[in-house]
Amino acid sequence: MDMDRLSNLPDELLVAILSFLPTPIAARTSVLCRRFRHLWEASPSVQIRAYVPDKFVAQADGALLHRNPSYSLLSLRIELHDFKRSLPDSYMPSLLAKAASLGLCHLTILGFFNFEPILSTIFSIKTLKSLAHPNIVLNPHHVFPSGLALTCLTSLSLGLFRIESAKLNQLLSELSLLEELQLKIFSIRSLIISSQTITKLTLVTVGSKLDTLKLVLPSLESIHLRTWHLSHSLFHIHGEVPLLKRAVIDLDELHAQNVSAVTNLLNFISHLEELRLHVKESADEKNPSHILLEPGKCPPNFPNLKHLYVGLCFHKHNFEAVIMMLHNCPALESLKLVQESPESTRRARGRNRKDWRSNLPPYRNVNFRNLHLGMNKREFMKLLGKKCTVETRARN
């Protein structure tokens, strides 16, 4: 005999289950039976998603503006397009004010919307712990409100366009509990990020000519740095990150003249324990060249590095550079090398195609685990010895 286990669950548990569903889908459960008629309205998570202004207003009114004040709100996710011509100027601020009165902790706004009218409202929500507005770009004329009420904020995600470092650091200085920061930056020549509390940083540069990046983050433990459509000038990175342990570096469309910046970056983060490095060479490069380490320069030492992942085109120059790096990784426990062929190799012909060919022993990838064990360590050392660089042999 089949048993209705769902009906035996308490209302609190059913509400928790409904909180994982998008609000429009959770609302459909109201037709199941009388018990479910208003159960979805108590969900601590509200997701409002619509591409038509009328539907957006209908969802927002039913799920939030008319919400029972006795039902607390932990998470609000809004997905919309540019409705500023169809929505009254006061509608979004009133929507967020209602959410704030319900104890909102996590706010995510996706899509395209004029951020300025709601800026002061968002920054006045005292209970907010995380704010994600990644698709909205703040222009230089935007001024962050002073005397912020975001004393509980631990996670922040924003887009910045030609923002001044002083304005950014003024904001960060007032967020005394901020631990995680995600920034997408556009058209910035110089950037300084300073905070005493940030432990995790995600920085994405898009079409930028960033010459200098300074990080004064004494508590930083993890960084994800990504470049999209970067100009020929790559940034010089320096600063203070003594506790950095993990780094994910994605460098896109690199040219031969970027090699000194890449070398400088590797030296800056050489004290970490885990590194995932993905380098994509520009499709405009006709011939392979040094892109990872500068010729004639000593490779960085990685005394604490335990886990290394490298994805790039392992032509002769890159493969030699990686081997030189591995000789300076005495604590390495796992290694993965993945061949990533740039667009240039598909257009190459004859001798040029041969120059772009991977020098990895399996010609596709190399994967070593548990290098602290004798057998694996011997195989690893065999790789280093068999494919020792020409430059190293010449010096010897």
Per-residue pLDDT tens digits for 330-364: 899 999 999 887 766 666 555 567 778 888 876 66
Q: Token pair 């100009």 is at which residue? A: 231
For 114-158, give the DSSP string.
--HHHHHHHTT-TT--EEEEEEEEE-TT--PPSS---TT--EEEE
When the pLDDT of each residue in the chain is averaged and rounded to a whole number, the result is 81
Strands (E), the chain: 45-49, 75-80, 106-111, 130-138, 155-161, 180-186, 190-194, 200-206, 212-216, 222-228, 236-240, 246-254, 274-281, 307-312, 334-339, 365-368
Task: Please report the pLDDT score of residue 115 as a whole number.
Answer: 67
Task: Please report the pLDDT score of residue 18 as a whole number.
Answer: 80
Task: Please report the pLDDT score of residue 222 as a whole number.
Answer: 97
> What percent of the chain lies above the pLDDT cut of 70?
81
Reported confidence tier of residue 177, pLDDT bands at 50, 70, 90: very high
> CB atoms < 10 A from the CB of 235, how many?
24
For the cut 70, the answer to whether the pLDDT of residue 306 exceeds it is yes
Amino acid sitting at position 332: L
Per-residue pLDDT tens digits for 118-175: 778 888 888 999 999 876 656 556 666 666 778 899 999 988 777 788 888 888 888 8
User: Among 109-118, 248-257, 275-284, 300-309, which is the least confidently predicted range?
Assistant: 109-118
pTM comes to 0.84
For the cut 90, the answer to whether the pLDDT of residue 216 exceeds it is yes
Query: Alpha-carbon distance 132 to 184, whole Å?
Result: 12
User: Among 153-157, 282-286, 338-342, 390-394, which is the least confidently predicted range?
Assistant: 390-394
For the cut 70, the answer to whether the pLDDT of residue 373 exceeds it is no
Task: Please report the pLDDT score of residue 393 as a whole number.
Answer: 36
For the cut 60, the answer to whether the pLDDT of residue 396 exceeds it is no
Determine the 3-state secondary structure of 244 from DSSP. coil
Task: Please report the pLDDT score of residue 247 as a whole number.
Answer: 97
Overall average pLDDT of the 2-27 stretch: 77
Query: Alpha-carbon distance 263 to 359, whole Å?
Result: 21
The better pLDDT of the pair 48, 247 is held by 247
Q: Token pair 């003594």 is at which residue? A: 242
For the cut 60, the answer to whether the pLDDT of residue 192 exceeds it is yes
- Break the chain into its structural domains and give their ranges: 268-396
Residues in Cβ contact with 14 at an 8 Å cutoff, skipping those fewer than 6 apart: 6, 36, 39
Task: Please report the pLDDT score of residue 241 as a whole number.
Answer: 94
Per-residue pLDDT tens digits for 32-83: 777 777 788 888 899 888 777 778 888 888 888 888 888 889 999 988 766 6
Task: Please report the pLDDT score of residue 280 as a whole number.
Answer: 86
Which DSSP helix (H) or strand (E) runs through 168?
A: helix 165-174
**Length of the chain, in residues:** 396
Task: Please report the pLDDT score of residue 188 as a whole number.
Answer: 78
Structure tokens at 132: 């994600």
Q: What is the 3-state secondary structure (H, E, C) of 202-234?
A: EEEEECCCCCEEEEECCCCCEEEEEEECCCCCC
Please give the DSSP secondary-structure letter assigned to residue 12.
Answer: H
For the cut 70, the answer to whether the pLDDT of residue 112 exceeds it is no
